[in-house]
């Protein structure tokens, strides 16, 4: 059976995750991280993809980005792979595939989950116990959003700009948002989306996506469909009536 094409919509934020094959490490040292980020920045600009948040974990990459068209997101990720994989293999004396199949994408309901997804991405090193706090982990976009350093890879989303009228207000508001942490419902929703490529949004958002794309988005109802009721036969009228 042919694989269903990814659901990518222009001007809509998407979560993107690319894992190492068999969960192997795809970054081994500082130079690996820097090369990957450099190529990601170059390809994002070339294919007109706005990157809003990212994290480079030892065995996977997560990006939150908005493409300008239907093809840019896939072309960006493919081009980064064509640059990075042969370079990584040559440097580390290995051969063969580095990434685990196709990257996954999940459309994000920007109004309700854009900042939540950004927070989820930047707290990944803390959840994995790689850092005590988000600012302690170098290979994410959190330092940019918190005002610790500028990151040329990042294009701030309008919802981030809406956090305040000045850079200081935005940075303080976003820092407070991250320090609040995540509740279990938000964590499960976004983790499921990353694992399955399902949209991050409410049922109403998913229903609207179904109408817009003519694709099944909402989960099918469990169980067998109800049988249609048998037609009721009318008794023959008595004779003489």
Rounded Cα–Cα distance for residues 38 and 23 (Å): 23
Q: Give me the domain span that covers residue 182.
A: 14-213
5-9, 40-44, 85-89, 186-190: range with lowest mean pLDDT: 5-9
What is the rounded distance in angstroms from the CA atom of residue 43 to the CA atom of residue 36? Answer: 11
Is 219 a domain residue? no
Phi–psi pair at 65, nearest 5 degrees: -150, 155
Q: Give pLDDT tens digits for 208-223.
A: 888 777 677 666 555 5
Tell me: pLDDT of 197 over 90: no
Predicted local distance difference test score (pLDDT) of residue 215 = 73
Is residue 166 in some structural domain?
Answer: yes
Q: Note whether residue 241 is domain-resident.
A: no
Q: Is residue 218 part of a domain?
A: no
- pLDDT tens digit sequence for 136-173: 999 999 999 999 999 999 999 999 999 999 999 999 99
Across 170-203, b (16+ Cβ under 10 Å) vs e yields bbeebbebbeeebeeebeebbeebbeebbbbbee
- Residue burial 109-146, b: 16+ Cβ < 10 Å; e: rest: bbeebbbbbbbbbbbbbbeeeebeebbebebbbbbbbb
pTM, 2 dp: 0.86
Chain segment 88-139, per-residue pLDDT in tens: 999 999 999 999 988 999 999 999 999 999 999 999 999 999 999 999 999 9
Per the model's pLDDT, the better-predicted residue between 1 and 123 turns out to be 123
Q: Is residue 226 part of a domain?
A: no
- Domain total of the chain: 1
Q: What is the reported pLDDT for 208?
A: 82
Answer whether 108's CB lies under 8 Å from 199's CB: yes
Give yes or no for residue 86 having a pLDDT over 80: yes
pLDDT of residue 240: 47
Average pLDDT score over the chain = 89
Cα–Cα distances in angstroms (integers) from residue 223 to residues 97, 220, 226, 227, in the given order? 40, 9, 9, 12
Residue 75 lies in a domain: yes
CATH number at residue 35: 3.30.70.1290
Least confident of 2-11, 72-81, 143-152: 2-11
**Within a domain: residue 56?**
yes
In a domain, 142, yes or no: yes
Q: What is the pLDDT of residues 41-52, one digit of tens each?
A: 999 999 999 999
């Amino acid at each position: 059976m042919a694989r269903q094409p990814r659901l990518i919509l222009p001007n809509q934020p998407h979560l993107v995750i690319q894992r190492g094959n068999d969960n192997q490490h795809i970054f081994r040292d500082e130079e690996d991280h820097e090369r990957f980020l450099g190529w990601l920045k170059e390809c994002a600009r070339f294919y007109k993809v706005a990157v809003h948040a990212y994290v480079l974990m030892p065995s996977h990459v997560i990006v939150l980005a908005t493409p300008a068209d239907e093809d840019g997101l896939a072309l960006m990720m493919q081009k980064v792979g064509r640059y990075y994989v042969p370079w990584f293999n040559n440097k580390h004396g290995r051969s063969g595939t580095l990434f685990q199949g196709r990257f996954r994408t999940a459309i994000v309901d920007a109004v309700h989950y854009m900042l939540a997804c950004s927070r989820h991405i930047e707290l990944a090193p803390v959840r994995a116990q790689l850092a005590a706090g988000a600012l302690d982990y170098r290979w994410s976009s959190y330092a940019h959003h918190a005002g610790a350093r500028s990151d040329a890879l990042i294009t701030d989303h309008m919802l981030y700009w809406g956090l305040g009228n000045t850079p200081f207000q935005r940075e303080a508001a976003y820092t407070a948002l991250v320090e609040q942490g995540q509740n279990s419902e938000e964590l499960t929703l976004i983790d499921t989306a990353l694992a399955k490529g399902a949209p991050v949004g409410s049922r109403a958002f998913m229903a609207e996506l179904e109408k817009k794309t003519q694709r099944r988005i909402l989960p099918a109802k469990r169980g067998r469909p109800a049988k249609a009721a048998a037609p009721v036969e009318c008794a023959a009228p008595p004779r003489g009536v």
